[in-house]
Structure formats: structure tokens, C-alpha cells
Structure 1
Amino acid sequence: MTGPRLPRKLGEIGIPMNPLAASTPVSEVVAMLDADRHAPGVIVQTATGHQLVSRALVERTAAGPAPDAPRTAADLPRHDVLALPADTDIDMAAEAALGRPADEREEPVLVTWPDGRYGIAPMMDLLAAMAGRYARLSRTDQLTGLPNRAMITAEGRRRLDAGNLLAVLHLGLDRFQDANDVLGHHGADALLHRVGVALNAAPGPGNLVARLDGDQFLVLLSELPPGHTPQSMGRHIASRIRGPHTIDGLPIGVEVSIGISPADYHDIAVLQRRAAAAMRRAKRERTGVVEWTPGLDSTQRVDLRQLTELRSGLRNGHLRLFYQPLHEATSRKMSGVEALVRWQHPQRGLLPPGVFLPDAERSDVILELTDWVLAEALHQAALWKRAGHHVPVSVNLPPAYLAQERAVPTILALLQLEQVPADLLTVEITETAVLTNPDEVAAQLSALRLRGVRVAIDDFGTGYTSLGLLPRLPVDELKIDRSFVVQMHDSPAHATIIDSVIAIARALGMMVVAEGVEDEPTAADLARAGVDLLQGYHLNRPTPPEAVPLVPARPLTAVV
């Protein structure tokens, strides 16, 4: 639904014309204009240059008293000519034409081309082109060229009235502020433009895409390919815009959260609000795609209550740590575990981290929670050590925790308290934490590493970290995000990204961990590719500490 292309340059509306000799009889000029009723005037080549005489001036002159009538084209009256190059923007040409004296504003404009041609741009055509451009601009997002909020709202209302709307999809890019921080404003705009282009092609014909503002987009879904549902289309769109997109030489992957509202209510504003609410749920719980349900709106308002309950849960012993083993890729011997927090809620049961961690990370609760996770994980490592098991433990450190001056002293004090060797602890940081303050983060991590604590970058490849930062960081491991692992057999691009991460890690002397290993072919291929450690449901699910298998999970099928 793009409509006809509107002219952008003056030459697109200019009518090429052959200049007349100054000696051309006026009678011939009149005859020429009578023969071509669309000609806006004539161009006369005089000793002082090319002059433009409009049709209106020729007709008024020809209708005057015979004794006063000019005999040749050179004698025709004319205003001061406004001559502009053909590549002049329509807006600038209209501004110049309207800036002339009042009695000259209806006169056409002389157009000149670089190859020596001349033409005439009628004033009405110029004003119509400018008006059309402004009308299009009022309905179009200038950065991406997609329809804007006003246009898609009006179109959504029309499709609802016509019974031609299946669902509304609201898309929000994840961690886009990181892109601004790394790429700068210009680079982030370039990324949004690339995403807009990819998104516009993703839903297929009959469906309309718009940019609302910032990193928010909307899709009106009116047609579905055979076998597709709105949810599967949402996942398809997410995969199409994922990239990587090369911006300023950096390969940037894009993750998106999508909310879906079925078109079961006859008010486009309500459908848009529902889709936005579902998108916020998808973003908070990191589930990718969420469809709106009647109970979802009410759950959007329980965040403050949930934070209060989480504080109480911390103090009342309701938090639990589960541990997911990591295995050597070739031998499948267990090499360590990652500590993953759960909340044993008194009324809601065992809650996964996606339900409460996003809210905690937006408040100071995350600091108290991270203290508890570190203390509990190191205590468990001490228990295993006393039982004769050397089990390294990985703990995630959120950006807010690492930003504290007390972060390093607290971790070192806990190691001393539990009498756990520092090399049994790996702290995992996200790319976001690195970008918050690279120099400060590097200093904090260096202090930990100096004492023997290992450092890993978690979810590597999903954020916007510049590869130039990696050599400056004291990092032992890169963890490839599960989103790349689960698609490595279906997407050559994702397989290439994995190979690139392995090559980068090797060059910098780092180990590589692959998350999200869900089947044996994936595990075997990752081992062949050179991944050091594997983690995922195919090997072990997160379990309470007493259920952690302190023996290899399963034998390796031959890697060749």
C-alpha cells in the first residue's frame, strides 16, 4: 500500500521544450500554443540568455490592440525569469517560486538540465507535487519510509470495517538502547532503517507494516500463508529481521519481542493497546511472542506488588537455586554448573526467572537477590568440595551489581567465608553490562580475575558489543546464545555466526560454551566445530543441587 511515487525533483515535472529563435513571429508562437493546449508557455533564445514567456502573457498580448502588438517573440512582454536546475528539490523550488512578487507567483519556472536542455515547470504542477509530498510525509515515517502511526491507525480502522483484519502485531526491538550506546545516533538510525526494510518484506502481500516511534513497529495482518497462524507469522517475522545487519563494519543481530492481538474487537485503538500489552509481557518474560488474553491486562499492574513479595521471599527463604551442568563437548564429562534462581512462591508455585527477574533488574531488589545467589552458590560449591567433588559454579552478575564499588570485595569475602578456591567461581556478565561502562567493568573483572575468579560473557552475539572491546576485557569464556544454537541447522547465517565466534575466541585464547543444545546432532556438530563446553536440555535440565549428576551425563557418539 505504497501509492504512486511522488516527484522529488523539479526536473520530474518539467516539460522539455525547444527554445524559439528571437525572430520567430508572434503569430507562429500563438499557433504553436493553440496546437498544444498543454504547453505552459514558450522559451525564447535571446542575446541575453533564455527567456520564458508564459501562455497567459502570450494570450493577453495577442488579444491587445493591433498597433501595439509585438511582431516577434523577442518583443513579447515577460517577467523576470526564475530559472532552476532540474535536480532542485520540489520543496526548495516551490519555496523559491512562492517567494517571488505577488504578480509573478503564477508564472511557470524555467528548468535547466546539465545536458543543455530547457523546459518549463507549470506552477500548478509544482504546487500539486509539493502538496502531495507533504501529504505523503504526514503519513510516512521519515527514517524508514514505512507508514507512520496515523496512517496505520486509519488503515486498521478501514480494514476492521471491511472485515479484512485477522490480527495486530506490535513489535519492540530488545535492548535497542545498547545499539545507541555502541553505534551512536547515526548508526542506530541506520540499523532501524535496515530493520524497516527487512520487516516490510517479511509479512508478505496484503499485510501492512508501520513504524510507530523509536524501536516500535506495528503489523496489520490481513492474509496468512497456508499453514500459518498469527503466532507462527510472528516467529517468521522475528527470524527475517534478525540479521545480522552490518553497520559501520559491525555485524549486528536484532532480537524482537512481539505482542499479538486477534482482531476480535471492533476498535483499532483497543487492538493496538492489547498488542502493546502482550509485547511488554513478551519482553519482560523474554518469551519472544505473546498473544493477548483477557487476563493479561490485569497482570500488567502487579509489578509493584510482585517486587514487594520478592523482597519478602528473599528474607523468608522462598528462593531456590537450580543448577544446570556444563559438559565437555568431546568427552561429555561434567565440567561445572550454572546457578539459576527460582522462586517458590507460596501461592503461585515454583516461578521461573523470566517471571520476576526483569522487574527485579529495574529496582534495587536485584542487588539483594544477587548477594543471595552468590552466597548460596558458593555455599553449595563448598558442600560439594567437602564431599570430594570439584564442581565449578557459574553465577550471572547483572550490570547494576557490577557497577557497585562493593561488588568485588563482597565476592572475595564470600569466597573466603566458604573456603572455596577462586577458580571454582565463574562470573557471567552480559554484553549490556560491558557497554554500561567498559573501563570500569574491565577494572572490576580484572580485580576478580587477579584473585583467580573466571569471567564469561553470557548470551554472546545477541547484544551490540564491539569486537574491539573483547581484547581489552579479562574474559575466559564466550557463551554463544541459544538463539543461534537452536537455528544452526536451519539457517546458514546462524551457523556462520557460531563459526565466527569460535574463531574469535580461539584468536583471543578464550573457551567457547554453547547454550541451548537440545538434540544430539546439534551437540555433535558443535563439538566438531570446536566448541569446548555444551549446555542444554539434551544433556541436563536445571535441577536442585541434590539431583545434579556428578558423573558424565551420557557417552559421546563418535565425533569425526
Structure 2
Amino acid sequence: DRHEHGVAVLTLDVDNFKLVNDSLGHEAGDDLIAALAERLRGAVRETDLIARQGGDEFLLLLADIEPTPGPAGTDGVTLAAIQVADRVQQLLESPFELDGTELYASVSVGISLYPADATDAGGLLRNADAAMFRAKRSGPGGYVVHHADDADARTKLSLSTRLRKAVDQQSWTLHYQPLIELGTGDMYGVEALIRWPDPNGGMLAPGEFIPLAEEMGLIDAIGGWVVEEIGRQDAIWRAEGIELEIGFNLSPRQLWQDDPVGRIARQVRSAGMDPARVTVEITESTAMNDPDHTLDVLYGFKDEGLRLAIDDFGTGYSSLSRLRYMPVDVLKIDRTFVREVHTDPQSASMVSAIIALANNLGMEPLAEGIETEDEWRFLADRGCPFGQGFYFSRPIPAEQITAMHRRAGLHVIEGGLAI
């Protein structure tokens, strides 16, 4: 009887597909999709259905699956779907060749099962989509099987809908974390960090929605709003006699947008900001992902008078020969090295080496994630001039920065350091 058999729906989304389009062009993106579709045929039976749902999404429909239990009590429908997901990933292990360029691709897979997970086509599609978003959040090249009671997966699906609405309504806010001169305890600047007041409650940090925004192609709109809001807030502070350096983060995708330098420089100028007080931050891994392209963009920012910072330094795989040619002003030491730096000899050696490296390259070292007085004093004693972290202040709304300034001038820590 046909109704005794199971059905599996697999939603596949190509990881980082927008980056392929942005870097190699839309024709290369189309060629990749066609080549990928051909490989997918090797993962399924002739009776299974392969369909392209959208720009970089595929749908696999596995029908008439025997529900015979598999190993460790796994039902046959689940087992068959997982085997297909595994075969898909195996078939993508070898590179694609696009116009003479070798390219590796992966897909994130969401799986929904009939009858265990949903009993109608709409439910299967929705649940497979939700599971796919969960897979993306876990990193590229994974799969997630949806379960009927998986409220978390439904939350991830609704996140994409709410994210689109937030972009349309610009429902964001910026919090600012003080940047501190470690020798005096004075605040000389702030790092602007986007927050999303979620309608479902709470305040979402960037890590909870920026990766999804990048995948959905929404990051340009969000990034544009951040720079505009920084300019608006800086004008308010300047009117109150407060002049601070302001840094903000540039995502990997923004580096590949059309004319990122021109866009940002125009926004900074139209806001009346002094470019020398604006710092563009990119992570170490972003800087080294395509160093030649990155170098062009960084020099573009420098030509416009903006400052540049490498964020999370020490966590990536920097080529020191490339780093020396980058027009970087600030090297931000990642918090993983700063934590317990005063008690862990290995961390202490690493931090001391990065401080020396920055100084030798003509860059300013700045320590991230300072949470204790001991860490602060250790860093200041080792010659690290700048830092930020919860010991001084968490990221806070703009009005609290204003209040902090009115209460104690720029002095954040009572007494400073006796050095």
C-alpha cells in the first residue's frame, strides 16, 4: 500500500552563493548552479524529484521510502534522507571549474519527513526550510532533520521573515562600547555595535542575525543604516561638545558590494564627520580571505582619510608579509588571548608578541575583552596603549555615553594607573 511508505523533503541552499556572484559574476553563478544540479542527480534515485526553488535553492523529494527500521532504532525514512544528504556532501567534495577558476561549494540541508514530522505538503516544505536555516546557523555543509516538536527550528524560520521586515522598517539600534586609554582610564572613542530589538522580546546581538542577513542579501541595507546612524549620533554629540573616535564593523559581504569605499565615504562626508575620527573595522579572517581585493579596498578607505582596524587579531591565519603592506592603523588583540593574560604564560607571551608586532608595523595595539583590573594592569604594563571590555563598560545606548561624559568628563576609571 502506497500510504505505508514514507516521504522525505530536503531543502538545499548553496552556502555563500552571493559571494560567488559578487566576486566572479552572475554568469559564473549560473554555471555553478547548473553544474551543481548535475551532481545532485548522482545523490538520488531516478524516481526521486530534483527541483530548483529559487536562485540558489534546490528541493529534493524522496517518495515511496520503505519505513523499515535501521540501525540503533532509526526509522527507514530518516535513514534514507540522511544517506542522501551525506551523498550530496560527498559529491561536492571535489571542486567545480568555472571559467578556469577552481571553486569549492557546499550546501546546507534541511530535512522534513512524512508522516513523522508533517502530514501535508505545505508543512513538509515549511519544516524543511526551517531545518535548513538551522543548518546554516551551525556552519556550512551541514544538515538538520526537523522534528514535529522542534519549536526552535520554527523560530529560525520566522527569524528570516522578521529580519526582512526589520530591514524595511529600519528597526535597529546602536550600542556603543567605550574605547579606553589604558594608562589614564580615559575614554577617547567608542565602537558602534548594532542591536536588533526583537519584537518577540529581547535584544539580539549581531552574531544572532548578521550571518543570516548576509545569506539573504540584506547586509548592504543594514550596513548603510549603521553608517547613517553613526553620522546622526556624532552630530548630536558634537553639538554637546563631545568629540569621540567612532569605529564600526564591515562584514565580508560589504567588502564585495559595489564601491564600498565611495558609499561609506559619501555618508561620512554628508554627515559632516571628520574621516580621521572614523575607523572601519574588518576581521583578520576577512582581510586574508582575498588579500589583493582587500588591499585595494583598504587603500581606498585610506585615500578618503578614514582609519582602519584589523579586528579579532590572532584568531586567523595572517600572512605577515601581507599584513606589513596593509594600511592599517589599529591591531585589535582578540579577547581569547586577553582572558587571564596575567596568569597564563602562553597568553601573556602571545599578547606581548602582538603588541611588539603592532608597534614594529607602525600600528596601534588595542586589547579587546578586558574584564578584570589585573588584565588591565598587565596590558598597560606591557605597553598596550588602548583597550575595551566589560571592566570599563559594556556596549551601552548613546544617551549613557553622554551621561558618562557629563558625570566624569572622559574619565571612566577612578584614579587611572600609577605608571
The TM-score bracket by the shorter chain reads: 0.5 to 0.7
SS in 2 for 1:331: coil
Q: Deviations over 1:206-234 (max 9, x none)?
A: xxxxxxxx9xxxxxxxxxxxxxxxxxxxx
Query: Which residue of the other structure, out of 226, 241, 264, is the alignment partner of 1:411?
Result: 264
Aligned partner of residue 456 in structure 1, secondary structure = strand
Is 2:411 the counterpart of 1:552?
yes
Indicate conservation of the 8 Å contact 1:514/1:534, yes or no: yes
What CA distance in whole angstroms lies between the structure 1 residues aligned with 2:282 and 2:360? 21
Shift of 1:417: 1.1
User: How much does 1:486 deviate?
Assistant: 1.0
Q: Does 1:487 align with 2:346?
A: no
**Which of residues 426, 434, 441 is equivalent to 2:279?**
426
Segments of 4+ in structure 1 off by > 4 A?
Answer: 279-284, 294-297
Distance, in Å, in 2 between the alignment partners of 1:413 and 1:445 is 16
Aligned to 2:185: 332
One-letter code aligned to 1:377: I
Matched, 1:380 2:233: yes
Q: How far 1:403 moved relative to its partner?
A: 1.5
Deviations 1:56-107 (A, max 9, x none): xxxxxxxxxxxxxxxxxxxxxxxxxxxxxxxxxxxxxxxxxxxxxxxxxxxx
Alignment of 1:277-426 (within 5 A): 297-426=150-279
Match of 1:453 among 300, 306, 309: 306
Kept in 2: contact 1:431–1:460 (CA 8 A): yes
Equivalent residues in 2 for 1:74-223, closer than 5 Å = none
In the alignment, residue 477 of structure 1 is paired with which amino acid? V
Contact 1:381–1:392, Cα closer than 8 Å, also in 2: no
Give SS of 2:347's match: helix
> 1:274-306 CA distances to partner (integer Å, 9 max, x unpaired)?
xx99x969857xxxxxxxxx9994423544431
Please say if residues 330 and 556 of structure 1, whose CA atoms lie closer than 8 Å, have aligned partners that are also in contact.
Answer: no
Separation in 1 of the partners of 2:381 and 2:148? 47
CA-CA distance at 1:476 after TM superposition: 0.2
**Contact 1:322–1:543 (CA<8 Å) still a contact in 2?**
yes
Counterpart Cα distance in 1 of 2:293 and 2:308? 15
Measured at CA, do residues 556 and 363 of structure 1 come closer, stay the same or move farther in structure 2, by a change above 3 Å?
A: farther
8 Å contact kept, 2:341–2:378: no
TM-score (norm 1): 0.47
Q: Which residue of 2 aligns with 1:518?
A: 371
Contact 1:331 1:555 in 2 (8 A): no
Structure 2 contact 185–417 (Cα < 8 Å) conserved: no
Tell me which residue corresponds to 2:361. Answer: 508
CA distance in 2, matches of 1:281, 1:523: 37
Q: For the Cα contact (< 8 Å) 2:342–2:378, is it kept in 1?
A: no
Partner residue, 2:296: 443
Q: Give the distance between the partners of 2:308 and 2:414, measured in 1 at CA.
A: 28
The aligned amino acid for 1:461 is G
Aligned to 2:389: 536
The offset of 1:454, in angstroms, is 0.3
Q: 1:300 to 1:450 in 2, by over 3 A?
A: same
> Does the aligned pair in 1 maintain the 2:334–2:367 contact within 8 Å?
yes
CA contact 2:167–2:218 (8 Å) conserved in 1: no
Contact 1:323 1:337 in 2 (8 A): yes
Task: Determine helix, strand or coil for the equivalent of 2:209.
Answer: helix
Q: Cα gap change, 1:328/1:387 in structure 2, threshold over 3 Å: closer, same or farther?
A: same
**Match of residue 98 from structure 2:** none
The match for 2:120 is none
Q: CA deviation at 1:418?
A: 0.6
Provide the C-alpha distance between the structure 2 equivalents of 1:348 and 1:360, rounded to a whole number of angstroms.
Answer: 19
Q: Which residue identity lines up with residue 553 of structure 1 in the other structure?
A: V
CA distance in 2, matches of 1:420, 1:557: 30
- Report the alpha carbon displacement of residue 556 of structure 1 after superposing the two structures with TM: 4.3
Distance in structure 1 (CA, Å) of the matches to 2:385 and 2:164: 38
Decide whether aligned partners of structure 1 residues 283 and 491 sit closer, same or farther in structure 2, where only a CA change above 3 A counts.
farther
Determine if contact 2:180/2:386 at 8 Å carries over to the other structure. Answer: yes
Partners in 2 of 1:297 and 1:495 — Cα distance? 44
Deviations 1:522-548 (A, max 9, x none): 101111111121100110111110001
C-alpha change, 1:312 and 1:530, in structure 2 (3 Å) is same
Opposite residue 496 of structure 1, the aligned amino acid is S
Asked if structure 2 preserves the Cα contact closer than 8 Å seen for 1:527 and 1:559, the reply is no
Write the distance in 2 (CA, Å) between the matches of 1:295 and 1:542.
Answer: 38
Letter in 1 for 2:300: A
- Is the contact made by 1:426 and 1:456 (CA closer than 8 Å) also made in structure 2? yes
Counterparts of 2:281 and 2:203, CA distance in 1: 24
Residues 162-215 of structure 1, C-alpha deviations (whole Å, 9 max, x = no match): xxxxxxxxxxxxxxxxxxxxxxxxxxxxxxxxxxxxxxxxxxxxxxxxxxxx9x
Distance 1:407 1:347, change over 3 A: same
Deviation at 1:408, TM superposition (A): 0.7
Report the Cα offset of residue 499 of structure 1.
Answer: 0.8
**Cα distance in 2 for residues equivalent to 1:484 and 1:283:** 24
Change in CA separation of 1:464 and 1:503 when aligned onto 2, cut-off 3 Å: same
Aligned partners of 1:500 and 1:335: how far apart in 2? Answer: 25
Residue aligned with 2:234, SS: helix
Once residues 540 and 299 of structure 1 are traced to their aligned partners in structure 2, the CA distance between those partners, rounded to angstroms, is 32
Q: How many equivalent pairs are there?
A: 281
Change (3 A) 1:296 1:458: farther
Instruction: Tell me, yes or no, if the aligned pair for 1:303 and 1:359 is still in contact at 8 Å.
Output: no
**Structure 2: tracts of 5 or more residues without a match:** 1-70, 73-105, 107-130, 140-146
Match of 2:33 in 1: none
Q: Which residue of 2 aligns with 1:174?
A: none
Query: Equivalent residue for 1:137?
Result: none
Relative contact order (alpha carbons < 8 A, sep ≥ 6): 1 or 2 greater?
2
